[in-house]
Amino acid sequence: MNVPKWLDNAVFYEIYPQSFKDSNGDGIGDFNGIIEKLDYVKDFGCTAIWMNPCFKSPFGDAGYDVSDYLETAPRYGTNEDLKRLFSEAHKRGMHILLDLVPGHTSVEHPWFKQSMKAERNEFTDRYVWTDSIWESPEAMGCIRGISDRDGSCAVNFFSHQPALNYGFYKPDPDKKWQQSTDSEGARATLEAMKDVMRFWLNAGCDGFRVDMAGSLVKNDEDGKGTVKLWQNVREFLDKEFPNAAMVSEWGEPDKSLQGGFHMDFLLHFGPSHYNDLFRCEYPFFAGQGDVSEFVKKYTENYEKSERKGLICIPSGNHDMDRLSRNVHGDNLKIAFAFLLSMPGAPFIYYGDEIGMRYVEGLTSVEGGYGRTGSRSPMQWDDSANAGFSTAPAEKLYISQDASPDRPTVQNQQADENSLYQEVKQLIAIRREHTALHNRSEIEFVYAEKNAYPLVYIRSSESERILVIINPSDKAAEFPCELTFKGTAYVFGGAAGSDGKKVSVPPCSAGFYII
């Protein structure tokens, strides 16, 4: 498997296109707005962008319900506008991953409309249908009674997202509608998705972040069928697009990397204990939580994935509460010291670098529900709508944080002590030190239950760095006989060593060369 060299030191910026920058005054962000702000993203230090779905959609789930994979949503611009975005990013030495949603479509997709017909056709087996309207797929929601076709169609999440058919790893012999992974219908679906990837890679995109990558094959408890499916995709990419980058939303790096992905996301649900860090009643980075279970699970996944260090830890994303909802003040800076010193490519959700807040009490927009408060428009400056759009405020896609002290890029760029400036510095330090790069190794030194600090060593062939993270408001210490040879970064006061133990100031973070 070819690994694009640029991934070795990539720092990603996630752009939710609806909410980033509106260039035409309609209240919704667009491609041209993103182009306007590419220099901002580059100057900040990010080298790559993950952009949430931008394909044609009825937007029942913010674009994760695609109605045409080969055409952009008019609200964002044309296919040619998107190609220009790719080109402008490449001129700046940056890369863009599109968000691929291979598991389901919208009910408005032409494939689904054809699959609903009673007469057999090319798309009859494109989705997971039972043989009878009275039978629903086991352990899955379904759509039924909407067409002449007899049967119920499985859905992956919302009731308007019919599940595409990639087959069942272990079909039930008593349920003839459960097709195998090598059935004609399942193979046709996979080839159609390859065509989608082929189309956009030829157009200039640099790869994909794949939504729900581990969920495609059904009745696949150990993931073996889905791993095999992605290995098929990997073979196709190695042959036709060897430089395409693939990042999975899977949460099981031992499986996703085996399937041919270059990197995997640490998910905010499931067994990762990611929420222990930032989003629970007592988060570790709020200075009153536990990090030990996270480290235990992370180490387990790290070993399973052959110590490749390709587990990406995001600051947040469009599905989570904003980082600043539970972590505040200087602890946000300490959280970023952690995020930007761990292995795998860092992913920074737009606005997290200025501490944008979760906007409370919003009515759901386009399937956002509780997630809507994390999707509010970017806050650029002190002009109307914080510089996001010239539209009347009531026409904005999502209401903004109306607080008079809301953070903005303009204000934080002018403040040398701001979160923005700290994160920008951390990105530069990460890129400068090979021990902190995405594929460099990690070894945990201290991660005790209900205790601070968190300590680990990052190492490359040429250097070793001891990272000490203490979000607690109390001084801490840990046994350590290592000798500090230099300092790469200190926030909140330097740690001190007597040769047997290291004393750590409260609310501090440090990277020490050893």
* Residue 78 shares a structural domain with residue 225: yes
* Residue 351 shares a structural domain with residue 362: yes
Q: Let me know if residue 21 belongs to a domain.
A: yes
Instruction: Give the three-class secondary structure for 411.
Output: helix
d(CA 298, CA 312): 11
Q: How confident is the model at residue 145 (pLDDT cuts 50, 70, 90)?
A: very high
Residue 269: predicted pLDDT: 81
* Residue 222 shares a structural domain with residue 85: yes
* Residue 385 shares a structural domain with residue 304: yes
pLDDT at 412 over 90: yes
Q: Report the share of the chain in percent with pLDDT over 70.
A: 100
pLDDT at 271 over 90: no
pLDDT at 139 over 90: no
Q: Let me know if residue 436 belongs to a domain.
A: no
Q: Let me know if residue 420 belongs to a domain.
A: yes
pLDDT tens for 171-190 read: 999 999 999 999 999 999 99
Number of domains in the chain: 3
* Residue 265 shares a structural domain with residue 407: yes
pLDDT tens for 276-319 read: 999 999 999 999 999 999 999 999 999 988 887 689 999 999 99
Q: How confident is the model at residue 2 (pLDDT cuts 50, 70, 90)?
A: confident
* Residue 254 shares a structural domain with residue 340: yes
* Residue 395 shares a structural domain with residue 471: no
* Residue 229 shares a structural domain with residue 374: yes
Rounded to 5 degrees, φ, ψ at 454 are: -105, 130
Whether this prediction's pTM lies above 0.85 is answered by yes
* Residue 454 shares a structural domain with residue 323: no
Structure-token match 């009673």, residue found = 118
Q: Let me know if residue 122 belongs to a domain.
A: yes
d(CA 220, CA 224): 7
User: What is the average per-residue pLDDT within 56-71?
Assistant: 98
Q: Let me know if residue 177 belongs to a domain.
A: no
* 8 Å CB contact between 18 and 57: no
Question: Domain limits at 488?
Answer: 441-513
* Residue 463 shares a structural domain with residue 494: yes
* Residue 420 shares a structural domain with residue 471: no
Residue 268: predicted pLDDT: 81
Q: Let me know if residue 181 belongs to a domain.
A: no
pLDDT at 1 over 90: no
pLDDT tens for 323-355 read: 999 999 999 999 999 999 999 999 999 999 999
Q: Let me know if residue 174 belongs to a domain.
A: no
- Pair of tokens at residue 293: 């279970």
d(CA 509, CA 423): 13
* Residue 93 shares a structural domain with residue 128: no
For the domain that residue 480 is a member of, what is the CATH number? 2.60.40.1180
